[in-house]
Structure 1
Amino acid sequence: MTTNELLNRLKYQLKQLEQEVLQHDANLPAGQRKMMQDVERFNNELFVQEGAQLKPCIDQLSKSVAQLQQLINAKRSPYTIVSSCEKIQDRFSAVRRALSTTNINLKSLEQQKRTRRAHAIKRGAKTHQQSGFSWIASNVMQNSHQLYEELNKHLNWAKIIEQKIENLQSSLEYCHSADKIRLQNEILAQHSRLGKCRQATSYIEDRIQLFERPFKGQNR
């Protein structure tokens, strides 16, 4: 096979591979692209590329084939041309392998995510039990919707307690001296309840923030 025949064959293979890659990239849902956005799938000597989409590899392969044509036109040594061809073939093989392993990579990432989430839930449950707020159901800590419901519940309780304190203080001004101590104790008790309610509110708000950014930067 002459060098020109070899070059034409590589160009034909590149065209075929490009169609497969374009179809592969087009079929990737946005969620899968995001999941793999930081994944390095190739040795840097083969491609500079991250993520699920493989079109950048085709662009780099096209440049390699164009460089090979320049070597042939310049009548460089057979060793240099063969070496360039071998590198191009290695890149072809790497892209084909990547095409066939995308689903495997995704399943591996999903498993890692499930494992991390299970560990995070386990750690969160342990921390919750030690937090002093174990009277809030543990399952609430694992669901953002329930966390927001719990937050609204505590905010409403705080308003009710604040209103109750205000009413008691108004009553204190006009009550009989014999009832003052009882009302003062009741006001103190309500302030204590309000303090705990506000602490719980802050705790739930912190849990919401942790829940909404659980695995940022952990896709590598």
Structure 2
Amino acid sequence: MSQAIVKLQQQIEQLAQHAHQFDKAKWFDKNRYIQAQPSLFAHSVFATKSLKLCDYVDEIKEAFARLPSPEKRHAYAFALEKLSTQIEAVIKVLKSTPVWAKENTFAKPKKTKVYRQAVKKIMQSSHELYQELSQNHEFERRLQEMIDLRKQQLSSASTSEASKINQEILALHARLGRCRKAITATEDKIQQVEKQQNR
């Protein structure tokens, strides 16, 4: 397990403690509007329907336990993004009540920042870099298609047209070479970041 993942796990445990304090203080018991709601959060954020924060943190814990392997890049990045949204949603509720303010008068901004940084650190390697890699592979595919198309046109082209098409093919090959260099560079970046996380 990478260091960043361990840190995230610790922060989810801290979030569970704060949620427990929150539920114990019964902040929503006097709020008629909230008592009339079936759920604290939108269905798109949590599947859980409850007026207790602990139930939502339990869903976060389950999602964390079911995180896909980092090898499944897109699924892993998507799951982390969802987890990040859920953690942020719970923190928002905590921040809006005196229990958070009282318990974390000095540490409040710092704690919120720590949650964000822990998720962001993993997200950068798993989301931004993989997104960049995916875009580069898409460019590579398109350039190859353009080269193949020009080669087909070449077979039925006149001498003057053939000269022009050959120049276009050369230019496309140069772009393809640069694109493949970018793919290798992004793959190297991913390896470096994952090595740092697994230290």
Scaled to the shorter chain, the TM-score interval is 0.3 to 0.5
Q: Which has the higher contact order (CA 8 A, sep 6+)?
A: 2
Report the structure number with the largest CA radius of gyration: 1
Query: Normalising by structure 2, what TM-score?
Result: 0.42
